[in-house]
Amino acid sequence: MIVVSNRGPFRFARNDDGTFSAHRGSGGVVSALMPLLANREDATWVAAAIGEDDRAAVLAGTPTPTGGVHAKLLALDPTTSRLHYDVVSNGVLWFLHHGLFDLARRPRFDRRFREAWEGYVSVNRSFADAVIDGAPEGETVLVQDYQLALVPQMLAQGRPDLHVVHFTHTPFCGPSSVRVLPEYVAHSLCSSMASCTTGFHTERWARAFRASAHEVLGEDAGVGPTFAASFGPDPAVLAAEIATPEVDAEIAALEARVGDRQLIVRSDRMELSKNIVRGFQAYDLLLEEHEKLRERVVFAALLNPSRESLPEYLAYRNEVEQAAARVNERWATSDWEPVILDQRDNYARSLAGLVRSDVLLVNPVRDGLNLIALEGPLANRRDGVLCLSREAGAHDELHHACLTVQPFDVVQTAAALHEALVMSAAERGTRAAELRTLAQANPPAAWLETQLRQARG
């Protein structure tokens, strides 16, 4: 099998002596697939060399680590990559699929966008060519995500013998939103994805894709089969990641700051779709409405830096920082800091937060799945309550056991946080046990098997 994704299993860092060392890539797809593909002779992972060090390592012919995944990293032209990644993938497709556009102002498809689109096409072409040139006859190819939506059609044209699936990890926009795209873009994306079998985390996104494809291509257009298949964390892998001295040290540091107070945690990338500002506004309202909770609760926002080359992300980070500061200015006392805002890129710290939390707030405006909502209950040791947005794909699986959050309704979110904080021990225990069962229902291996089966029709 060949897995094709923009972000790959490794990233390289240059050592002082000019050599390169390989580190694990980031993100949910990498954590899910790495253990499954490691040491499999029949698996190759094609991905982009993302940073400068990655590109230099590939150009220097640095081999990928042995015992890991057999990876082929593509050293793409940096300018073309930027157009593909920053402008089209993150600046347009991400915003479109997550419903983040402020349509009075954005997007604006000008001449510069046309050049960027050429960059997107060209990077998709490089990925497709790598597969076309390297794939054995009749191979199965699993293409991942919106950054590579044009690859399926390129493969269908260049190598009709291949069995191709495209899997989207984000939501997919609906038929009215897809009309925001220029026709040449909408048509290329939809016709490419319609040329193969497509997978999504939930039936909701699959339905949205089918409706969008028919909107763009016509009611009678042929659209390939769609399927919904999701994955959660591998419990054994997660447990091993938690059982480390680094995580213990982070738990101890958190305990020292929180003491015997209740702890609300959120753990996200610094990302517009995560709805971080409304989370603080809901917490502010909670403290306003419930005097008894003041000094008795702490909200730790554990936020990893993300896509800092995009101005929207930098502006959003400012908003987040200001919203957190406002809560602290309004409520802090000499020995109580209501909000801890931690922006270190530190996985051990994030795991520690999940372990120690009494309430986990996951309130995205829209999310393909949201792996944190599934990892949280498995990592947690305190029968923590999950407050989960109904707009996250994971809500479909967890809705019986979580408290549902309407992510735009700050009053309702505050009420859900309150319900979580005052819930009886018995109910917490029942819900947490159910969450643990549900979070283990779709291990990554089953998700991979589904893709392989779907590819072979």
Kindly give the residue spans of alpha helices, DSSP state H, lying in 218-335.
235-242, 245-258, 276-289, 311-331
* Gap between the Cα atoms of 275 and 269, Å rounded: 11
Of the residues 119, 368, 393, 443, which one makes contact with ligand G6P according to CB under 6 A? 368
- Of the candidates 223, 196, 208, the one whose C-alpha atom is nearest the C-alpha of residue 454 is 196
Ranges within 270-329 binding ligand G6P (CB under 6 A):
307
* Gap between the Cα atoms of 305 and 312, Å rounded: 13
Q: Is 444 in the site for ligand G6P (CB under 6 A)?
A: no
Ranked by CB distance to ligand G6P, the top (closest) residue is 169
Ranges within 163-192 binding ligand G6P (CB under 6 A):
169-170
- 378 or 392: whose CB is closer to ligand G6P? 392
Q: Is 25 in the site for ligand G6P (CB under 6 A)?
A: no
- 269 or 418: whose CB is closer to ligand G6P? 269
Binding-site size, ligand G6P (CB under 6 A): 8
Structure tokens at 283: 């917490």
Direct distance between the N- and C-terminal alpha carbons of the chain, in angstroms, rounded to an integer: 15
- 98 or 210: whose CB is closer to ligand G6P? 98
Closest approach, Cβ 274 to ligand G6P, in A, equals 11
233: preceding bond cis by omega (within 30 degrees): no
Closest approach, Cβ 144 to ligand G6P, in A, equals 7
- Of the candidates 360, 363, 362, the one whose C-alpha atom is nearest the C-alpha of residue 408 is 363
Q: Is 152 in the site for ligand G6P (CB under 6 A)?
A: no
Q: How many Cβ atoms from other residues are within 10 Å of residue 262's Cβ?
A: 17
Structure tokens at 132: 């076309």
- 5 or 226: whose CB is closer to ligand G6P? 5
- 170 or 198: whose CB is closer to ligand G6P? 170
Backbone phi, then psi, for 270, in 5-degree steps?
-75, 95
Closest approach, Cβ 367 to ligand G6P, in A, equals 7
Of the residues 7, 72, 294, 326, which one makes contact with ligand G6P according to CB under 6 A? 7
* Gap between the Cα atoms of 263 and 256, Å rounded: 12
Unique residue bearing structure tokens 């390129």: 154
Please report the sign of the dihedral spanned by the C-alpha atoms of residue 325, residue 329, residue 332, residue 333.
positive
Closest approach, Cβ 169 to ligand G6P, in A, equals 3
Q: Is 51 in the site for ligand G6P (CB under 6 A)?
A: no
Structure tokens at 291: 């005097």
Of the residues 14, 21, 24, 27, which one makes contact with ligand G6P according to CB under 6 A? 27
Closest approach, Cβ 280 to ligand G6P, in A, equals 22
- 251 or 303: whose CB is closer to ligand G6P? 303
Of the residues 8, 10, 11, 28, which one makes contact with ligand G6P according to CB under 6 A? 28
* Gap between the Cα atoms of 55 and 52, Å rounded: 5
Closest approach, Cβ 394 to ligand G6P, in A, equals 11
- 383 or 391: whose CB is closer to ligand G6P? 391
Unique residue bearing structure tokens 């209950």: 377
Helices and strands, number each (H, E), in the chain: 19, 15
Binding residues for ligand G6P, rule: CB under 6 A, are: 7, 27-28, 145, 169-170, 307, 368
